[in-house]
Chains A and B, each alone.
Chain A
Protein backbone atom coordinates (compact mmCIF):
# COMPACT_ATOMS: atom_id res chain seq x y z
CA UNK A 1 0.00 0.00 0.00
CA UNK A 2 1.89 3.04 -1.19
CA UNK A 3 -0.68 5.66 -0.36
CA UNK A 4 -0.81 4.95 3.32
CA UNK A 5 -1.71 7.95 5.30
CA UNK A 6 -1.38 8.42 9.02
CA UNK A 7 -5.03 7.60 9.18
CA UNK A 8 -4.60 4.11 7.85
CA UNK A 9 -1.65 3.45 10.09
CA UNK A 10 -3.93 4.30 12.96
CA UNK A 11 -6.44 1.72 11.80
CA UNK A 12 -3.75 -0.93 11.52
CA UNK A 13 -2.70 -0.08 15.03
CA UNK A 14 -6.24 -0.43 16.33
CA UNK A 15 -6.32 -3.91 14.82
CA UNK A 16 -2.86 -4.54 16.35
CA UNK A 17 -1.28 -5.20 12.98
CA UNK A 18 1.67 -3.91 11.06
CA UNK A 19 0.81 -1.69 8.09
CA UNK A 20 2.02 -4.50 5.86
CA UNK A 21 -0.71 -6.86 6.99
CA UNK A 22 -2.71 -8.74 4.39
CA UNK A 23 -6.48 -8.69 4.17
CA UNK A 24 -6.67 -12.16 5.71
CA UNK A 25 -4.80 -10.94 8.78
CA UNK A 26 -7.02 -7.90 8.99
CA UNK A 27 -10.02 -10.13 8.93
CA UNK A 28 -8.84 -12.53 11.58
CA UNK A 29 -7.57 -9.77 13.85
CA UNK A 30 -10.89 -8.01 13.54
CA UNK A 31 -12.78 -11.15 14.43
CA UNK A 32 -10.54 -11.88 17.37
CA UNK A 33 -10.73 -8.38 18.83
CA UNK A 34 -14.43 -8.08 18.29
CA UNK A 35 -15.00 -11.34 20.10
CA UNK A 36 -12.65 -10.29 22.88
CA UNK A 37 -14.24 -6.92 23.59
CA UNK A 38 -17.81 -8.04 23.22
CA UNK A 39 -17.39 -11.20 25.22
CA UNK A 40 -16.48 -12.11 28.74
CA UNK A 41 -13.02 -13.60 28.34
CA UNK A 42 -11.18 -13.84 31.66
CA UNK A 43 -8.66 -11.40 30.24
CA UNK A 44 -11.49 -8.83 30.17
CA UNK A 45 -13.15 -9.84 33.42
CA UNK A 46 -9.85 -9.26 35.18
CA UNK A 47 -9.94 -5.54 34.34
CA UNK A 48 -13.66 -5.05 34.53
CA UNK A 49 -13.41 -3.11 37.81
CA UNK A 50 -11.20 -0.56 36.19
CA UNK A 51 -13.12 0.17 33.09
CA UNK A 52 -16.56 1.32 32.24
CA UNK A 53 -18.97 -0.12 29.76
CA UNK A 54 -18.58 3.12 27.87
CA UNK A 55 -14.85 2.55 27.34
CA UNK A 56 -15.51 -0.95 26.17
CA UNK A 57 -18.08 0.29 23.65
CA UNK A 58 -15.64 2.93 22.58
CA UNK A 59 -12.99 0.34 21.83
CA UNK A 60 -15.51 -1.80 19.97
CA UNK A 61 -16.51 1.06 17.73
CA UNK A 62 -12.87 1.87 17.03
CA UNK A 63 -12.33 -1.73 15.98
CA UNK A 64 -15.40 -1.60 13.79
CA UNK A 65 -14.32 1.62 12.16
CA UNK A 66 -10.80 0.38 11.56
CA UNK A 67 -12.08 -2.76 9.93
CA UNK A 68 -14.53 -0.95 7.68
CA UNK A 69 -11.93 1.56 6.59
CA UNK A 70 -9.27 -1.03 5.95
CA UNK A 71 -11.48 -3.40 4.04
CA UNK A 72 -12.63 -0.50 1.87
CA UNK A 73 -9.02 0.35 1.30
CA UNK A 74 -8.31 -3.16 0.12
CA UNK A 75 -11.46 -3.32 -1.96
CA UNK A 76 -10.57 -0.16 -3.81
CA UNK A 77 -6.98 -1.05 -4.18
CA UNK A 78 -5.79 -2.18 -7.58
CA UNK A 79 -3.25 -4.43 -6.05
CA UNK A 80 -3.68 -8.09 -5.69
CA UNK A 81 -3.42 -8.47 -1.99
CA UNK A 82 -2.52 -11.67 -0.26
CA UNK A 83 -2.76 -13.50 -3.55
CA UNK A 84 -6.40 -12.57 -3.94
CA UNK A 85 -7.88 -10.50 -6.72
CA UNK A 86 -9.35 -7.21 -5.70
CA UNK A 87 -12.95 -8.26 -6.07
CA UNK A 88 -12.53 -10.75 -3.27
CA UNK A 89 -15.48 -10.47 -0.98
CA UNK A 90 -14.36 -11.06 2.56
CA UNK A 91 -16.42 -13.43 4.57
CA UNK A 92 -17.17 -12.61 8.14
CA UNK A 93 -18.55 -15.13 10.52
CA UNK A 94 -20.78 -13.40 13.02
CA UNK A 95 -20.81 -14.47 16.66
CA UNK A 96 -23.63 -16.96 16.40
CA UNK A 97 -22.10 -18.57 13.36
CA UNK A 98 -18.70 -18.70 14.98
CA UNK A 99 -20.27 -20.46 17.88
CA UNK A 100 -22.05 -22.81 15.56
CA UNK A 101 -18.79 -23.57 13.76
CA UNK A 102 -16.89 -23.98 17.01
CA UNK A 103 -19.37 -26.62 18.15
CA UNK A 104 -18.88 -28.76 15.08
CA UNK A 105 -16.97 -31.84 16.13
CA UNK A 106 -16.14 -32.96 12.64
CA UNK A 107 -16.65 -31.20 9.31
CA UNK A 108 -18.77 -33.28 6.99
CA UNK A 109 -20.00 -32.33 3.56
CA UNK A 110 -23.44 -31.46 4.84
CA UNK A 111 -22.03 -29.32 7.66
CA UNK A 112 -19.97 -27.40 5.16
CA UNK A 113 -22.98 -26.86 3.00
CA UNK A 114 -24.98 -25.58 5.96
CA UNK A 115 -22.29 -23.07 6.85
CA UNK A 116 -22.02 -21.89 3.28
CA UNK A 117 -25.76 -21.42 3.05
CA UNK A 118 -25.87 -19.55 6.34
CA UNK A 119 -23.27 -17.22 4.90
CA UNK A 120 -25.35 -16.71 1.78
CA UNK A 121 -22.54 -17.78 -0.48
CA UNK A 122 -23.18 -19.55 -3.76
CA UNK A 123 -20.98 -22.32 -5.04
CA UNK A 124 -20.22 -20.33 -8.16
CA UNK A 125 -18.83 -17.52 -5.93
CA UNK A 126 -16.24 -19.92 -4.64
CA UNK A 127 -15.63 -21.37 -8.08
CA UNK A 128 -15.19 -17.94 -9.62
CA UNK A 129 -12.79 -16.91 -6.96
CA UNK A 130 -10.73 -20.05 -6.68
CA UNK A 131 -10.94 -20.96 -10.39
CA UNK A 132 -11.79 -24.45 -9.36
CA UNK A 133 -14.76 -26.07 -11.06
CA UNK A 134 -18.01 -25.64 -9.23
CA UNK A 135 -18.67 -29.35 -9.64
CA UNK A 136 -15.88 -30.23 -7.24
CA UNK A 137 -17.35 -28.12 -4.49
CA UNK A 138 -20.71 -29.69 -5.03
CA UNK A 139 -19.07 -33.11 -4.83
CA UNK A 140 -17.44 -32.07 -1.59
CA UNK A 141 -20.73 -31.02 -0.05
CA UNK A 142 -22.57 -34.11 -1.22
CA UNK A 143 -19.62 -36.31 -0.34
CA UNK A 144 -19.51 -37.75 -3.81
CA UNK A 145 -16.02 -38.96 -3.20
CA UNK A 146 -15.82 -40.80 -6.46
CA UNK A 147 -15.57 -37.48 -8.20
CA UNK A 148 -12.01 -37.06 -7.04
CA UNK A 149 -9.19 -38.78 -8.79
CA UNK A 150 -6.88 -38.55 -5.81
CA UNK A 151 -6.60 -37.40 -2.23
CA UNK A 152 -4.10 -34.73 -3.21
CA UNK A 153 -6.58 -33.00 -5.51
CA UNK A 154 -9.38 -33.32 -3.01
CA UNK A 155 -7.19 -31.77 -0.36
CA UNK A 156 -6.42 -28.81 -2.57
CA UNK A 157 -10.12 -28.23 -3.21
CA UNK A 158 -11.19 -28.61 0.39
CA UNK A 159 -8.49 -26.21 1.58
CA UNK A 160 -9.60 -23.61 -0.94
CA UNK A 161 -13.23 -24.10 0.06
CA UNK A 162 -12.51 -23.79 3.79
CA UNK A 163 -10.33 -20.78 3.26
CA UNK A 164 -13.01 -19.01 1.30
CA UNK A 165 -15.53 -19.57 4.09
CA UNK A 166 -13.03 -18.30 6.70
CA UNK A 167 -12.99 -21.69 8.36
CA UNK A 168 -9.89 -23.28 9.74
CA UNK A 169 -8.53 -24.96 6.57
CA UNK A 170 -6.33 -27.47 8.39
CA UNK A 171 -9.10 -28.71 10.65
CA UNK A 172 -11.66 -28.89 7.86
CA UNK A 173 -9.27 -30.75 5.57
CA UNK A 174 -8.27 -33.10 8.32
CA UNK A 175 -11.83 -34.06 9.19
CA UNK A 176 -12.93 -34.27 5.63
CA UNK A 177 -10.01 -36.29 4.32
CA UNK A 178 -10.59 -38.78 7.10
CA UNK A 179 -14.08 -39.34 5.72
CA UNK A 180 -12.68 -39.70 2.24
CA UNK A 181 -10.18 -42.28 3.43
CA UNK A 182 -12.84 -44.23 5.27
CA UNK A 183 -14.86 -44.33 2.11
CA UNK A 184 -11.89 -45.37 0.07
CA UNK A 185 -11.08 -48.20 2.42
CA UNK A 186 -14.59 -49.49 2.05
CA UNK A 187 -15.94 -51.23 -1.03
CA UNK A 188 -17.32 -48.11 -2.65
CA UNK A 189 -13.90 -46.84 -3.23
CA UNK A 190 -12.97 -49.55 -5.63
CA UNK A 191 -15.82 -50.53 -7.91
CA UNK A 192 -18.99 -48.60 -7.55
CA UNK A 193 -17.19 -45.34 -7.20
CA UNK A 194 -15.28 -45.67 -10.40
CA UNK A 195 -18.50 -46.38 -12.15
CA UNK A 196 -20.19 -43.31 -10.74
CA UNK A 197 -17.26 -41.24 -11.71
CA UNK A 198 -17.38 -42.55 -15.23
CA UNK A 199 -21.08 -41.70 -15.39
CA UNK A 200 -20.47 -38.20 -14.30
CA UNK A 201 -17.76 -37.60 -16.79
CA UNK A 202 -20.25 -38.68 -19.38
CA UNK A 203 -22.76 -36.13 -18.06
CA UNK A 204 -20.17 -33.44 -18.16
CA UNK A 205 -19.41 -34.16 -21.76
CA UNK A 206 -23.07 -34.04 -22.67
CA UNK A 207 -23.47 -30.55 -21.25
Chain B
Protein backbone atom coordinates (compact mmCIF):
# COMPACT_ATOMS: atom_id res chain seq x y z
CA UNK B 1 0.00 0.00 0.00
CA UNK B 2 2.04 2.84 -1.28
CA UNK B 3 -0.53 5.41 -0.35
CA UNK B 4 -0.59 4.60 3.32
CA UNK B 5 2.06 6.96 4.54
CA UNK B 6 0.85 7.41 8.06
CA UNK B 7 2.29 4.08 9.13
CA UNK B 8 5.25 4.47 11.45
CA UNK B 9 8.73 3.49 10.34
CA UNK B 10 7.48 3.23 6.85
CA UNK B 11 9.58 4.64 4.10
CA UNK B 12 8.23 8.01 3.20
CA UNK B 13 6.69 8.68 -0.14
CA UNK B 14 8.58 10.77 -2.67
CA UNK B 15 6.74 13.02 -5.09
CA UNK B 16 8.75 14.77 -7.77
CA UNK B 17 7.45 17.75 -9.69
CA UNK B 18 8.89 18.44 -13.11
CA UNK B 19 8.06 20.34 -16.25
CA UNK B 20 9.59 20.89 -19.63
CA UNK B 21 9.64 24.64 -19.41
CA UNK B 22 10.53 27.04 -16.63
CA UNK B 23 7.93 29.45 -15.35
CA UNK B 24 4.98 27.08 -15.60
CA UNK B 25 4.60 27.31 -11.83
CA UNK B 26 6.41 24.24 -10.58
CA UNK B 27 7.73 25.90 -7.46
CA UNK B 28 4.42 27.54 -6.72
CA UNK B 29 2.53 24.26 -7.12
CA UNK B 30 5.09 22.24 -5.16
CA UNK B 31 5.16 24.62 -2.22
CA UNK B 32 1.39 25.03 -2.21
CA UNK B 33 0.72 21.29 -2.22
CA UNK B 34 3.19 21.05 0.66
CA UNK B 35 1.47 23.75 2.67
CA UNK B 36 -1.95 22.24 2.03
CA UNK B 37 -0.99 18.72 3.02
CA UNK B 38 0.87 19.97 6.09
CA UNK B 39 -2.27 21.79 7.15
CA UNK B 40 -4.13 18.49 6.79
CA UNK B 41 -1.82 16.78 9.24
CA UNK B 42 0.76 15.24 6.93
CA UNK B 43 4.42 15.71 7.67
CA UNK B 44 6.00 17.24 4.61
CA UNK B 45 9.54 18.07 3.56
CA UNK B 46 10.12 20.17 0.47
CA UNK B 47 13.38 19.67 -1.38
CA UNK B 48 14.55 22.31 -3.80
CA UNK B 49 16.39 20.36 -6.47
CA UNK B 50 16.24 23.10 -9.07
CA UNK B 51 19.95 23.72 -9.15
CA UNK B 52 19.72 26.36 -11.81
CA UNK B 53 17.06 28.51 -10.18
CA UNK B 54 16.64 27.51 -6.56
CA UNK B 55 14.00 29.73 -5.00
CA UNK B 56 11.57 27.45 -3.21
CA UNK B 57 12.26 29.14 0.15
CA UNK B 58 10.68 32.34 -1.14
CA UNK B 59 7.40 30.52 -1.82
CA UNK B 60 7.13 29.38 1.79
CA UNK B 61 8.05 32.80 3.07
CA UNK B 62 11.44 32.19 4.56
CA UNK B 63 14.70 33.92 3.84
CA UNK B 64 17.43 32.05 2.13
CA UNK B 65 18.52 29.35 4.58
CA UNK B 66 22.17 29.20 5.63
CA UNK B 67 22.56 25.65 4.54
CA UNK B 68 21.50 24.10 1.32
CA UNK B 69 21.93 21.01 -0.80
CA UNK B 70 25.40 22.28 -1.59
CA UNK B 71 26.38 21.29 1.94
CA UNK B 72 25.19 17.80 1.24
CA UNK B 73 27.15 17.49 -1.97
CA UNK B 74 30.26 19.39 -0.93
CA UNK B 75 30.53 18.99 2.83
CA UNK B 76 28.71 15.69 3.18
CA UNK B 77 26.27 17.12 5.70
CA UNK B 78 23.51 14.53 6.16
CA UNK B 79 20.42 15.51 4.25
CA UNK B 80 18.17 15.26 7.29
CA UNK B 81 20.29 17.87 9.07
CA UNK B 82 19.59 20.32 6.29
CA UNK B 83 15.84 20.37 6.86
CA UNK B 84 14.81 23.78 8.16
CA UNK B 85 11.44 24.72 9.56
CA UNK B 86 9.15 26.95 7.59
CA UNK B 87 6.57 29.23 9.10
CA UNK B 88 4.06 26.42 8.63
CA UNK B 89 4.06 23.58 11.11
CA UNK B 90 4.90 20.11 9.82
CA UNK B 91 6.50 21.66 6.79
CA UNK B 92 10.26 21.37 6.40
CA UNK B 93 12.51 22.58 3.62
CA UNK B 94 15.83 21.54 2.21
CA UNK B 95 16.92 24.62 0.36
CA UNK B 96 18.54 24.56 -3.01
CA UNK B 97 21.68 26.26 -4.00
CA UNK B 98 21.82 29.39 -6.06
CA UNK B 99 25.53 29.16 -6.53
CA UNK B 100 26.86 27.90 -9.78
CA UNK B 101 26.32 24.41 -8.63
CA UNK B 102 25.57 22.92 -11.96
CA UNK B 103 23.61 19.75 -12.06
CA UNK B 104 26.29 18.27 -14.33
CA UNK B 105 28.81 18.44 -11.51
CA UNK B 106 26.97 15.93 -9.44
CA UNK B 107 28.68 12.62 -9.74
CA UNK B 108 26.69 9.49 -10.05
CA UNK B 109 27.84 8.20 -6.64
CA UNK B 110 26.66 11.40 -5.03
CA UNK B 111 23.34 10.96 -6.72
CA UNK B 112 22.92 7.45 -5.40
CA UNK B 113 23.73 8.79 -1.96
CA UNK B 114 21.27 11.59 -2.40
CA UNK B 115 18.48 9.14 -3.22
CA UNK B 116 19.40 7.00 -0.25
CA UNK B 117 19.43 9.97 2.10
CA UNK B 118 16.12 11.23 0.81
CA UNK B 119 14.45 8.03 1.90
CA UNK B 120 15.93 8.41 5.37
CA UNK B 121 14.27 11.70 6.12
CA UNK B 122 11.56 11.00 8.64
CA UNK B 123 8.42 12.39 7.21
CA UNK B 124 5.28 11.35 5.36
CA UNK B 125 5.85 12.92 2.00
CA UNK B 126 8.88 14.46 0.36
CA UNK B 127 8.10 16.89 -2.39
CA UNK B 128 10.94 17.56 -4.81
CA UNK B 129 10.90 20.67 -6.95
CA UNK B 130 12.95 19.86 -10.03
CA UNK B 131 14.70 22.09 -12.50
CA UNK B 132 13.09 22.65 -15.86
CA UNK B 133 14.48 20.80 -18.82
CA UNK B 134 15.67 17.30 -19.43
CA UNK B 135 19.09 17.03 -17.85
CA UNK B 136 19.75 13.44 -16.88
CA UNK B 137 20.20 14.30 -13.21
CA UNK B 138 16.77 15.85 -13.24
CA UNK B 139 15.42 12.82 -15.09
CA UNK B 140 16.91 10.40 -12.60
CA UNK B 141 15.41 12.25 -9.67
CA UNK B 142 12.07 12.36 -11.43
CA UNK B 143 12.19 8.63 -12.16
CA UNK B 144 13.09 7.82 -8.57
CA UNK B 145 9.85 9.27 -7.29
CA UNK B 146 6.84 7.28 -6.20
CA UNK B 147 4.70 9.91 -7.89
CA UNK B 148 5.81 11.66 -11.03
CA UNK B 149 4.02 14.97 -11.32
CA UNK B 150 4.27 17.35 -14.26
CA UNK B 151 3.13 20.95 -14.36
CA UNK B 152 2.13 22.51 -17.65
CA UNK B 153 0.73 25.89 -18.58
CA UNK B 154 -1.89 26.24 -21.31
CA UNK B 155 0.48 27.44 -24.02
CA UNK B 156 2.02 25.71 -27.00
CA UNK B 157 5.66 25.98 -25.96
CA UNK B 158 5.00 24.66 -22.47
CA UNK B 159 3.12 21.70 -23.91
CA UNK B 160 5.83 20.99 -26.49
CA UNK B 161 8.47 21.03 -23.82
CA UNK B 162 6.36 18.84 -21.60
CA UNK B 163 6.14 16.11 -24.23
CA UNK B 164 9.87 16.45 -24.71
CA UNK B 165 10.39 16.08 -20.98
CA UNK B 166 8.18 13.01 -20.75
CA UNK B 167 9.88 11.37 -23.69
CA UNK B 168 13.33 12.10 -22.28
CA UNK B 169 12.30 10.66 -18.94
CA UNK B 170 11.10 7.46 -20.51
CA UNK B 171 14.15 7.24 -22.74
CA UNK B 172 16.31 7.51 -19.66
CA UNK B 173 14.23 4.93 -17.87
CA UNK B 174 14.44 2.53 -20.78
CA UNK B 175 18.18 2.83 -20.71
CA UNK B 176 18.48 2.31 -16.97
CA UNK B 177 16.10 -0.63 -16.94
CA UNK B 178 17.74 -2.41 -19.84
CA UNK B 179 21.08 -1.78 -18.15
CA UNK B 180 19.78 -3.39 -15.02
CA UNK B 181 18.72 -6.45 -16.99
CA UNK B 182 22.14 -6.80 -18.54
CA UNK B 183 20.89 -5.50 -21.85
CA UNK B 184 23.06 -2.43 -21.97
CA UNK B 185 24.64 -3.32 -25.28
CA UNK B 186 21.28 -4.03 -26.91
CA UNK B 187 20.23 -0.52 -26.04
CA UNK B 188 23.50 1.15 -26.93
CA UNK B 189 23.92 -0.55 -30.27
CA UNK B 190 20.36 0.12 -31.29
CA UNK B 191 20.79 3.75 -30.40
CA UNK B 192 24.18 4.05 -32.08
CA UNK B 193 22.84 2.68 -35.34
CA UNK B 194 19.54 4.45 -35.08
CA UNK B 195 19.91 6.16 -38.43
CA UNK B 196 20.52 2.94 -40.31
CA UNK B 197 17.55 1.43 -38.53
CA UNK B 198 15.24 4.28 -39.36
CA UNK B 199 14.73 5.24 -35.71
CA UNK B 200 13.73 8.87 -35.53
CA UNK B 201 11.66 9.07 -32.41
CA UNK B 202 11.19 7.43 -29.06
CA UNK B 203 8.23 5.61 -30.52
CA UNK B 204 10.40 4.20 -33.33
CA UNK B 205 12.98 3.14 -30.76
CA UNK B 206 10.38 1.35 -28.68
CA UNK B 207 8.90 -0.32 -31.71
CA UNK B 208 12.33 -1.49 -32.77
CA UNK B 209 13.31 -2.75 -29.33
CA UNK B 210 10.17 -4.78 -28.70
CA UNK B 211 11.01 -6.81 -31.77
CA UNK B 212 14.48 -7.64 -30.51
CA UNK B 213 13.36 -10.41 -28.19
CA UNK B 214 10.36 -11.47 -26.12
CA UNK B 215 12.35 -10.59 -23.00
CA UNK B 216 12.93 -7.03 -24.12
CA UNK B 217 9.33 -6.77 -25.21
CA UNK B 218 8.10 -7.85 -21.79
CA UNK B 219 10.41 -5.46 -19.99
CA UNK B 220 9.32 -2.55 -22.12
CA UNK B 221 5.63 -3.24 -21.90
CA UNK B 222 5.90 -3.57 -18.13
CA UNK B 223 7.83 -0.32 -17.84
CA UNK B 224 5.35 1.49 -20.05
CA UNK B 225 2.38 0.42 -18.00
CA UNK B 226 4.25 1.31 -14.80
CA UNK B 227 5.01 4.76 -16.10
CA UNK B 228 2.34 6.83 -14.41
CA UNK B 229 2.21 10.54 -14.95
CA UNK B 230 0.19 12.99 -12.91
CA UNK B 231 -0.67 16.03 -14.96
CA UNK B 232 -1.32 19.46 -13.46
CA UNK B 233 -2.44 22.43 -15.53
CA UNK B 234 -1.49 25.75 -13.96
CA UNK B 235 -2.25 29.35 -14.87
CA UNK B 236 -5.52 28.68 -16.64
CA UNK B 237 -6.88 31.87 -18.02
CA UNK B 238 -10.25 30.85 -19.38
CA UNK B 239 -12.86 28.17 -19.17
CA UNK B 240 -11.46 26.30 -22.15
CA UNK B 241 -8.01 25.87 -20.64
CA UNK B 242 -9.23 23.13 -18.35
CA UNK B 243 -9.58 20.87 -21.38
CA UNK B 244 -5.85 21.18 -22.09
CA UNK B 245 -5.19 18.75 -19.27
CA UNK B 246 -7.54 16.11 -20.67
CA UNK B 247 -6.06 16.61 -24.10
CA UNK B 248 -2.49 16.27 -22.88
CA UNK B 249 -3.48 13.20 -20.90
CA UNK B 250 -5.15 11.67 -23.94
CA UNK B 251 -2.10 12.29 -26.08
CA UNK B 252 0.24 10.83 -23.45
CA UNK B 253 -1.84 7.69 -23.53
CA UNK B 254 -2.78 7.40 -27.20
CA UNK B 255 0.32 8.77 -28.89
CA UNK B 256 3.03 8.03 -26.38
CA UNK B 257 1.55 4.91 -24.81
CA UNK B 258 1.99 5.86 -21.14
CA UNK B 259 -0.45 6.01 -18.28
CA UNK B 260 -1.53 9.44 -17.25
CA UNK B 261 -3.93 11.03 -14.84
CA UNK B 262 -5.25 14.54 -14.90
CA UNK B 263 -4.75 15.37 -11.24
CA UNK B 264 -5.72 18.98 -11.12
CA UNK B 265 -6.05 22.38 -12.67
CA UNK B 266 -5.27 25.75 -11.14
CA UNK B 267 -6.38 29.09 -12.49
CA UNK B 268 -4.27 32.15 -13.05
CA UNK B 269 -4.54 34.69 -10.25
CA UNK B 270 -2.57 37.89 -10.02
CA UNK B 271 -2.37 37.68 -6.27
CA UNK B 272 -0.07 34.67 -6.66
CA UNK B 273 2.67 36.95 -7.95
CA UNK B 274 1.85 39.60 -5.36
CA UNK B 275 2.28 37.04 -2.58
CA UNK B 276 5.57 35.82 -3.99
CA UNK B 277 6.86 39.38 -4.16
CA UNK B 278 5.95 39.91 -0.52
CA UNK B 279 7.33 36.53 0.47
CA UNK B 280 3.95 35.49 1.74
CA UNK B 281 2.87 31.90 1.20
CA UNK B 282 -0.21 32.20 -0.99
CA UNK B 283 -1.95 29.27 0.66
CA UNK B 284 -1.68 30.95 4.04
CA UNK B 285 -2.67 34.41 2.84
CA UNK B 286 -5.63 33.39 0.67
CA UNK B 287 -6.73 30.02 2.02
CA UNK B 288 -10.23 30.19 0.61
CA UNK B 289 -9.46 31.62 -2.83
CA UNK B 290 -10.34 29.56 -5.91
CA UNK B 291 -6.64 28.91 -6.49
CA UNK B 292 -6.17 27.61 -2.95
CA UNK B 293 -9.21 25.41 -3.29
CA UNK B 294 -7.93 24.05 -6.58
CA UNK B 295 -4.60 23.26 -4.92
CA UNK B 296 -6.49 21.50 -2.13
CA UNK B 297 -8.39 19.39 -4.61
CA UNK B 298 -5.21 18.64 -6.52
CA UNK B 299 -3.42 17.54 -3.35
CA UNK B 300 -6.25 15.23 -2.35
CA UNK B 301 -6.35 13.76 -5.82
CA UNK B 302 -2.63 13.07 -5.73
CA UNK B 303 -2.92 11.51 -2.31
CA UNK B 304 -5.79 9.27 -3.33
CA UNK B 305 -4.75 8.59 -6.89
CA UNK B 306 -7.90 10.22 -8.20
CA UNK B 307 -8.31 12.62 -11.04
CA UNK B 308 -10.51 15.49 -11.99
CA UNK B 309 -13.59 15.00 -14.05
CA UNK B 310 -14.66 17.73 -16.34
CA UNK B 311 -18.29 18.59 -16.76
CA UNK B 312 -19.63 19.44 -20.18
CA UNK B 313 -19.58 23.09 -19.27
CA UNK B 314 -15.90 22.88 -18.48
CA UNK B 315 -16.24 22.96 -14.73
CA UNK B 316 -13.75 20.69 -13.03
CA UNK B 317 -14.77 18.73 -10.00
User: CB within 8 Å of B: which residues of A?
Assistant: 16, 28, 32-33, 36, 41-47, 50-51, 55, 59, 166, 168, 170-171
User: CB within 8 Å of A: which residues of B?
Assistant: 154-156, 159-160, 162-163, 201, 203, 243-244, 246-251, 253-255, 311-313, 315
Decide: A168 and B312 in contact? CB cutoff 8 A: yes
Decide: B247 and A44 in contact? CB cutoff 8 A: yes
* Nearest-CB residue, chain A, relative to B310: A32
Contacts of B203 in A (CB 8 A): 50
Contacts of A170 in B (CB 8 A): 311, 313, 315
Decide: A43 and B255 in contact? CB cutoff 8 A: no
Partner of B255 from the list A32, A50, A171 (CB cut-off 8 Å) is A50
24 A–B contacts from the bound complex (CB under 8 Å)? A16-B253, A33-B250, A36-B246, A41-B244, A42-B155, A42-B156, A42-B159, A42-B244, A43-B244, A43-B247, A43-B248, A44-B247, A45-B156, A46-B160, A46-B162, A46-B163, A47-B163, A47-B255, A50-B163, A50-B255, A55-B255, A59-B254, A170-B313, A170-B315
Decide: A36 and B250 in contact? CB cutoff 8 A: yes
- 15 more contacts with CB within 8 A, not counting A50-B203, A170-B313, are A16-B250, A16-B253, A32-B243, A33-B250, A42-B156, A42-B159, A42-B244, A44-B247, A46-B160, A47-B251, A47-B255, A59-B254, A59-B255, A166-B312, A168-B312
Contacts of B255 in A (CB 8 A): 47, 50-51, 55, 59
**What's the minimum C-beta distance from A10 to chain B, rounded to whole angstroms?**
13
Q: How far is the CA of A166 from the CA of B313 in the complex (A)?
A: 11
* Nearest-CB residue, chain A, relative to B315: A170
Partner of B159 from the list A28, A46, A51 (CB cut-off 8 Å) is A46
Contacts of B253 in A (CB 8 A): 16
Q: How far is the CA of A46 from the CA of B138 in the complex (A)?
A: 22
**What's the minimum C-beta distance from B165 to chain A, rounded to whole angstroms?**
12
Contacts of A59 in B (CB 8 A): 254-255
Decide: B201 and A50 in contact? CB cutoff 8 A: yes
- A-B contact number at CB 8 A: 51
Q: How far is the CA of A170 from the CA of B315 in the complex (A)?
A: 10
Decide: B159 and A43 in contact? CB cutoff 8 A: yes
Chain B CB count within 10 A is highest, among A33, A46, A166, for A46
**What's the minimum C-beta distance from A103 to chain B, rounded to whole angstroms?**
13
Q: How far is the CA of A166 from the CA of B311 in the complex (A)?
A: 12
Contacts of A41 in B (CB 8 A): 243-244, 247
Q: Which 5 A-B pairs give the minimum distances between C-beta atoms?
A: A43-B247, A168-B313, A46-B159, A46-B160, A42-B156
Contacts of A168 in B (CB 8 A): 311-313
Q: How far is the CA of A55 from the CA of B204 in the complex (A)?
A: 13
Partner of A28 from the list B247, B251, B312 (CB cut-off 8 Å) is B312
Contacts of A47 in B (CB 8 A): 163, 251, 255
Contacts of B250 in A (CB 8 A): 16, 33, 36, 43
* Nearest-CB residue, chain A, relative to B248: A43
Decide: B312 and A43 in contact? CB cutoff 8 A: no
**What's the minimum C-beta distance from A33 to chain B, rounded to whole angstroms?**
6
Partner of B156 from the list A16, A32, A46, A55 (CB cut-off 8 Å) is A46
Contacts of B163 in A (CB 8 A): 46-47, 50
* Nearest-CB residue, chain B, relative to A174: B313
Decide: B313 and A43 in contact? CB cutoff 8 A: no
Chain A CB count within 10 A is highest, among B203, B244, B247, for B247
Contacts of B313 in A (CB 8 A): 168, 170-171
Q: How far is the CA of A41 from the CA of B251 in the complex (A)?
A: 11
Q: How far is the CA of A143 from the CA of B254 in the complex (A)?
A: 46
* Nearest-CB residue, chain B, relative to A170: B313
* Nearest-CB residue, chain B, relative to A63: B254
Contacts of B159 in A (CB 8 A): 42-43, 46
* Nearest-CB residue, chain B, relative to A51: B255
Contacts of A44 in B (CB 8 A): 247, 251
